[in-house]
């Protein structure tokens, strides 16, 4: 495993775009810390962000893992480019000539996916821990380390999404077309959602039951939006007598669906590579 990872990181070391995108991915979340010092004027009310509980334990695990997951597109570009460069630079053929099997080649890419996902998860953990210890109203040990399942969900979310990108990189070969295909697939899922919602089930719960099996929707469902958990949102909803209750839990079946898709994408990548005449 380490040998294969060394080979991949040796290739990435000389890619300027990879360095830039990776730095952007890890630097942008640091701006979340700036929210603590920002005051917003909302409908005549002065709102200090840090006082709204977004940095409180254990909520911060949910909030940061959800927000930072939107930045995964930067690393997705790295993953897709990593695959397309193998074809354009002919390093794939050279690796196979040097004795690497096609199975090892796919495993090296998947190990890279795991490494990026793990590094991002550790980063989110450390960032959330520092912000929480600095601004949280609750610092008891049992509270700090509760709801860590959101970090596990974050890791699996990235692994599933990046595996999809890896598969598209092999399927399409060109990074621009692969990213375009990813965007088209996202549109397709939204269209299917509308069709299922208004033509078949006619209910939101029924539609969610169907859409949870689609790859992008499956990864999204791992971590539900945390906004309605905020204290001032809950207070406003109570005053308006509006029910905004949501099931925020990380469910085992959501994890299983993403793991199944991950397996399909890795196996599909190997199957494509095995059948192609390189």
Q: What digits encode the pLDDT tens for the residues 96-141?
A: 777 778 888 889 999 999 999 999 999 999 999 998 888 888 888 8
pLDDT for residue 204 is more than 70: yes
Place of tokens 């962000």: 49
pLDDT value of position 42: 57
pLDDT value of position 129: 93
pLDDT value of position 234: 63
pLDDT value of position 17: 82
Weakest-pLDDT range from 21-35, 132-146, 152-166: 21-35
pLDDT tier, 47 (very low <50, low <70, confident <90, very high otherwise): low
pLDDT tier, 256 (very low <50, low <70, confident <90, very high otherwise): very high
Q: What digits encode the pLDDT tens for the residues 219-248?
A: 999 999 887 777 666 666 566 666 666 778
Q: Name the pTM for this structure.
A: 0.89
Biggest CA–CA distance in the chain, Å, is 69
- Which burial class, exposed, middle or buried, applies to 138 when counting CB atoms under 10 A from its CB (0-12, 13-18, 19+)? middle
pLDDT value of position 118: 95
- Residue spans of alpha helices (H) in 99-174: 102-135, 141-144, 149-172
Q: What is the mean pLDDT of the chain?
A: 84
pLDDT value of position 45: 59
């Amino acid at each position: 495993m380490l040998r294969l990872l060394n080979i991949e990181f040796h290739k990435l070391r000389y890619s300027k775009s990879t360095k830039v995108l990776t730095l952007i991915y890890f630097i942008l979340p640091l701006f979340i810390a700036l929210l603590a010092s920002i005051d917003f004027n909302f409908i005549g009310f002065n709102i200090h962000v840090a006082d709204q509980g977004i940095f409180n334990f254990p909520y911060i695990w949910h909030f940061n893992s959800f927000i930072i997951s939107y930045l995964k597109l930067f690393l997705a570009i790295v993953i897709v480019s990593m695959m397309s460069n193998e074809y354009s630079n002919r390093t794939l053929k050279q690796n196979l000539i040097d004795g690497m099997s096609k199975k090892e080649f796919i495993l090296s890419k998947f190990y890279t996916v795991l490494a990026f996902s793990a590094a991002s998860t550790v980063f989110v953990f450390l960032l959330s821990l520092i912000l929480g210890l600095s601004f949280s109203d609750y610092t008891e040990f049992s509270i700090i380390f509760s709801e860590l399942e959101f970090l596990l969900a974050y890791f699996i979310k990235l692994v599933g999404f990046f595996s999809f990108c890896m598969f598209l990189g092999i399927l399409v070969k060109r990074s621009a077309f692969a990213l375009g295909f990813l965007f088209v697939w996202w549109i397709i899922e939204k269209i299917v959602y509308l069709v299922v919602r208004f033509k078949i089930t006619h209910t939101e719960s029924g539609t969610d039951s169907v859409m949870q099996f689609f790859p992008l929707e499956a990864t999204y469902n791992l971590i539900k939006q945390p906004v309605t958990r905020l204290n001032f949102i809950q207070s406003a909803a109570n005053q308006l007598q509006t029910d905004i209750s949501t099931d925020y839990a990380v469910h085992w079946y959501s994890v299983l669906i993403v793991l199944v898709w991950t397996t399909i994408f890795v196996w599909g990548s190997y199957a494509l590579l095995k059948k192609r005449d390189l």
